[in-house]
Amino acid sequence: MTERWRSGLSLLISVVVFAAVVLWFPAGGPANLRRVLGLGGEHPLGDPADVPPGGTYAFVAHQPGHPDDPVAWDPCREIHYEINPDGAPDDADETEDFVAEAVHVVSHYTGLRFVYDGRTDRRPAWDREVVPALAAREPVLIAWATEDEVPQLEDDVAGVDGSLPVPVQPEGWLRFVTGEVTLDSDAFAEMDTVLGDDGEERAVLLHELGHLVGLDHVDSTRELMYADNIGRRDFGTGDLNGLVRLGTGRCS
């Protein structure tokens, strides 16, 4: 993959601002409220895969005061996602299958359970400085856009992504609750026309989904999470070990 397909940074993970103090209720708070917000769980829904050791990986964020522990999704809660296929190189049905296959790969290695809620008219929203409290209840949005709509796609960026972390009391442990993946329509159209298969497009989507669940860029060209893909089509050994780590987060 050339410089043209460089991945964007995870943008949503920067600052978390919530107006609703309900997110700060302790674990013994109102059970119904916690269920509505998805703040309760008992047992992981799946198990991370067995992968060979080795490779290089990094995380986009770590738990406050615990530099060895990554911020991750709650393995006891399903991750719901929606797709807006407008701007994708294929028709809606093919786009859904394309995304589902990549999501399945990430689910397999992390053990996290994803649920597809269907198509949506929602558009990417990367300009929100303050994330409303109810945004925590929105499914992950996977969509395509041009740089006119999403300026973050300028300068040869093939995709931008990010996940929203919220604190879980009483420890103040962070976990992701929603996020977005936005792919560059023009870049995907060019890959589809020039390469004639979806291998390169799939690699970009896997890379962005890696960011979504908590992987950061690494310096090793052996990994798909290297900032500029120079030909890898699948996760490397380090990527896989990082995905496994992210699947062992706390239930909250």
CA distance 131 to 77: 21
Which DSSP helix (H) or strand (E) runs through 203? helix 199-213
In this structure, whether the domain defined by 3-246 belongs to CATH 3.40.50.720 is answered with: no
Q: What is the per-residue pLDDT for 113?
A: 97
CA distance 49 to 57: 16
Tally of CA atoms within 13 A in the half-sphere of 95 that contains its CB: 20
Q: Please report, in tens digits, the pLDDT of each residue of the chain (252 residues total).
A: 333 445 555 444 433 333 333 333 343 344 344 444 444 457 889 999 999 999 999 999 999 888 899 999 999 999 999 999 999 998 999 999 999 999 999 999 999 999 999 999 999 987 765 444 445 678 999 999 998 888 888 878 888 888 989 888 667 889 999 999 999 999 888 887 776 668 889 999 999 999 999 999 999 999 999 998 788 899 999 999 999 999 998 887
Which residue type is seen at 206?
A: L
Report how far Cα 158 is from the mean position of its chain's Cα atoms: 15
Q: What is the per-residue pLDDT for 230?
A: 82
The answer to whether residues 17 and 130 touch, using CB atoms and an 8 Å cutoff, is: yes
Domain ranges across the chain: 3-246
Q: Is the dihedral of CA 96, 101, 104, 110 positive or negative?
A: negative
Residue whose C-alpha is closest to residue 235's, from 214, 209, 198: 209
Which DSSP helix (H) or strand (E) runs through 186? helix 185-195
The answer to whether residues 246 and 74 touch, using CB atoms and an 8 Å cutoff, is: no
**What's the longest Cα–Cα distance across the chain?**
56
